[in-house]
Structure formats: C-alpha cells, structure tokens
C-alpha cells in the first residue's frame, strides 16, 4: 500500500531526501554509486543521477582525494569503520572546508564488503571558530610566556640590587674579624618583589643600612625598588643625617610615584652606625620598628618603641619630617630590620602572627647569632602559618656590634 512504513526503500528515500548531512555510497574502487541531494549540492553536481562512476578525484584536490581513497580502501580491507573523524576538504580552487565523517563498510546479503558508505556533516564554522580560538590561545600563551620571561629577567636583575659583600671594620680585616658583622635575607613571594635593602660603607668608621617595602606586589612594586635603589646610591653620600636622608628621599620620590594614574608609596628605615663609638642613628618612614637584641642580657626589645619617632611613609606627604633617633649600642648588641611580610602570615582562626608574637619569638631566640636567628624567626612564622608559606615578600637585614674600633 502507498506510504507503507514497512517499505524500506520509502524510508531510505525520505532519509536521503530530507537530511541536510551528506550521505553517499561507493563501490570497492571508491566510486560513487548513489548520494543524496545534500551531498550532490555540496559537490557541485547538477543531479544525483549524474554522480555514478565519479569519485573524490573529480571534486577535491589530489592530496585530499588520495587520503579519502586510502581511508576507504582500509575500511574495505579490514571491515573496520571510521567513526566521527574530522576531515579537512581541500577544493581545487584552494579553499577548505571541514566535515565530521563516519564511514562504514557496505556489505551485501552474504556479508561481503562490496564498498563503503558514509555520512558527513559540515562543521566548517565550528572548526574555524575552534582554530581561531586555538590560534588566539597560542598567541596569549606566547605573550604570557614572553612577559613571564621578562619578569623572570627583571627578578634576576633585582637581586643584583641587594648586598653582594658587606663593609668590614677596620678596613682590610676579614669578615670574620670585622668589629661589625652584617647579614641580610631576602625571599620574594613572586618573581619580583617590592622589598629592598642596602648595606653601605660611608667612612672608615661608619656604615649605613637602608630597608624599604614598596606598596603592593609584582612589577609595579619592583619598578619602585629600582627607582629607590638609584636614589639611595646617590643620597647616601650626600645626607649623613638619617632624618634628612628620608626627607630628601621623600621629596624626590613624591612627584614620581604620585601620578594621576599611579599611586605608590614605600615604608623605609635608614640607620647609620659608627663602629668607633657604638652610636646608632636611625629614622623611620612608616616602617616596622626594628628589633634591638641586647647581647649582655640575652633579650630583645623594640629599637624605638615610640610611634611619635616614625614619620609617614615615603611619597605620601609633602615636606614630611622624619626625626632622627639615637641609641648607644653595647658590644654584643644586634639590630634587625624586617619588612611586614615577616609577621603578616595568617594562622588559625584567620589570626595574624603579628608584632607581639614576633617580639616573643625574638626574645626566645635572643642568644642566637644572626646566621641562626634569621632562619629561627622565619621557621616560627612558618609553623604558625596555615599554609606554611609566606604570602608577602620577606626581607631581613641587620648587624651585630662586636667590639668598638
């Protein structure tokens, strides 16, 4: 009866005529025997009747036709289908399209392979979008890689700002015999850092220690340290009063760091020590209070312990004033300056390690030499921290006064 749903040819004809995907049947030589209208239109042929005996070599480039032929001959030989492969179709005019293709062996009633048949869906737009996405992802990866390499090189350059050797007193003695012994420790949380310290010899008896912490992290902060490093090198030979040194530094940095679209500031501490008298002079620009280790009593105290002695951070206030603080050091005493990353580690209950715990740890380790004291303090903070790591940069720098010259 007309329209009988058991009529296989009717079902196949409906499928062939209405499916937008390309359907085709080929003989053992990969020549077309039948295809639907969608496939015919795609190949540029006038009618489905005109396709018999033609092959991919009649419509595609030689390279693509040869690859399709090889795939189909393998299916005929093995009886194994190719399921959902992506094919790039290259046409004679050089243009390309993409299809998702499933190719299967075509068998007769006896089960013999007499050819192949397949169905292809045009995925050109999807594939081009995928290729564009992959291209842009590669561009982003390449740019990111170049930037990371630049930052890595900047980090290596930044390390050269830190002390590579320390002054000795008196001149000519070994570091082991020096009346003043220096030490610093630096750890960046990223490839570059906002922390910086310098140890400089000012005269036959005087040395200077400078430490700063530029606001923030990353490249902006690192650029700030590079600028400060240049200023420190210049001012250290001009200003012998720590307060005047910081005031002059503030004057130079403020117009550079305070732009319309840029706001950077830095905390800093500058200390001058005279090895012949044991006199220490220091000024502070919003920086954490240094630790004073009193060797004769094996204890640690804050060096200043008076907030009125601290001036504002650098590059915030115009014409800022920085008091100079004096302290008589005794043989065996040590001074340790540090950045706030040392005590801002977060522990249980989101509690910060804090300055109170830092002072307690310093008192506990007060008898240690600097080479053992620094890692002991750092280890105490690590054990307190939930992550066991520091989220901020860390810099410690200090000296021990052994004997006057």
Using one digit for the tens of pLDDT, what is the confidence trace for 159-206? 777 899 999 999 999 999 999 999 999 988 777 778 989 999 999 999
| DSSP letters for 371-405 | HHHHHHHHHHHHHHSSSSS-SS-EEEEEEEE----
Domain spans of the chain, in order of start: 8-128, 148-401
**What's the rounded Cα separation, in Å, for the pair 292 and 271?**
13
With residue 68 as reference, give the H or E element that holds it.
helix 62-78
Find how far residue 86's CA is from the centre of its chain: 36
The whole model's pTM is what? 0.69
Q: How many CA atoms lie within 13 A of 218 on its CB side?
A: 5
Q: ω into residue 170 within 30 of 0, thus cis?
A: yes
Name the CATH architecture for the domain at 8-128: 2-Layer Sandwich (3.30)
**What's the rounded Cα separation, in Å, for the pair 349 and 314?**
33
pLDDT of residue 5: 57
- Which two tokens mark 346? 């977060």
Check the CA dihedral 41-44-45-51 and report its sign: negative
Strands 299-302 and 291-294: antiparallel
CATH topology of domain 148-401: Phosphatase 2c; domain 1 (3.60.40)
Burial of 148 (0-12, 13-18, 19+ CB in 10 A): exposed
Residues of the chain with pLDDT under 70: 1-7, 154-155, 217-218, 259-262
- pLDDT digit string (tens) for 391-404? 788 999 999 999 88
Burial of 254 (0-12, 13-18, 19+ CB in 10 A): middle
- Which two tokens mark 169? 């007193």
Encode burial over 303-342: b for 16+ CB neighbours within 10 A, e otherwise: bbeeeebbbbbbbbeeebebbbbebebeeebbbbbbbbbb
pLDDT of residue 350: 86
pLDDT of residue 230: 86
Encode burial over 121-141: b for 16+ CB neighbours within 10 A, e otherwise: bbbeeebeeeeeeeeeeeeee
pLDDT of residue 258: 76
């Amino acid at each position: 009866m007309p329209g009988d749903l058991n009529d296989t040819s009717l079902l196949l004809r409906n499928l062939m005529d209405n499916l937008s995907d390309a359907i085709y049947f080929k003989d053992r030589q990969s020549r077309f025997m039948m295809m639907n209208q969608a496939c015919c239109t795609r190949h540029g042929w006038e009618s489905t009747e005109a396709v018999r005996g033609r092959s991919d070599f009649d419509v595609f480039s030689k390279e693509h036709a040869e690859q399709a032929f090889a795939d189909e001959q393998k299916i005929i030989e093995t009886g194994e289908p190719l399921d959902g492969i992506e094919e790039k179709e290259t046409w004679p005019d050089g243009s390309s399209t993409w299809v998702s293709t499933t190719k299967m062996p075509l068998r007769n009633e006896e089960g013999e392979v007499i050819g192949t048949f397949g169905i292809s869906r045009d995925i050109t737009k999807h594939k081009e979008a995928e290729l564009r996405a992959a291209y842009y992802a590669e561009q982003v990866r390449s740019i990111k890689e170049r930037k990371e390499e630049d930052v890595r090189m900047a980090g290596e350059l930044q390390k050269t700002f830190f002390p590579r050797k320390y002054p000795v007193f008196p001149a000519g003695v070994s570091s082991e015999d020096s009346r003043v012994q220096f030490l610093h420790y630096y750890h960046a949380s990223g490839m570059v850092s906002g922390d910086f310290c310098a140890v400089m010899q000012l005269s036959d008896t005087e040395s200077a220690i400078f430490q700063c912490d530029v606001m923030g992290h990353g490249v902006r902060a690192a650029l700030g340290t590079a600028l400060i490093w240049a200023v420190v090198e210049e001012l250290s030979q001009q200003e012998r009063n720590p307060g005047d040194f910081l005031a002059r530094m503030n004057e130079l940095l403020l117009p550079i760091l305070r732009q319309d679209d840029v706001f950077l500031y830095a905390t800093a501490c500058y200390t001058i020590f005279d090895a012949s008298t044991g006199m220490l002079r220091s000024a502070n620009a919003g920086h954490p209070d240094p630790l004073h280790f009193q060797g004769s009593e094996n204890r640690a105290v804050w060096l200043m312990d008076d907030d009125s002695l601290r001036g504002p951070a650098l590059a915030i206030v115009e014409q800022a004033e920085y008091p100079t603080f004096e302290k008589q050091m005794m043989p065996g005493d040590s001074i340790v300056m540090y950045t706030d990353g040392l005590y801002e580690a977060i522990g249980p209950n989101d509690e910060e390690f804090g300055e109170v715990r830092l002072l307690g740890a310093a008192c506990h380790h007060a008898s240690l030499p600097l080479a053992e004291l620094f890692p002991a303090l750092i280890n105490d903070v690590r054990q307190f921290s939930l992550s066991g790591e520091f989220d901020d940069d860390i810099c410690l720098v200090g000296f021990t006064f052994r004997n006057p010259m």
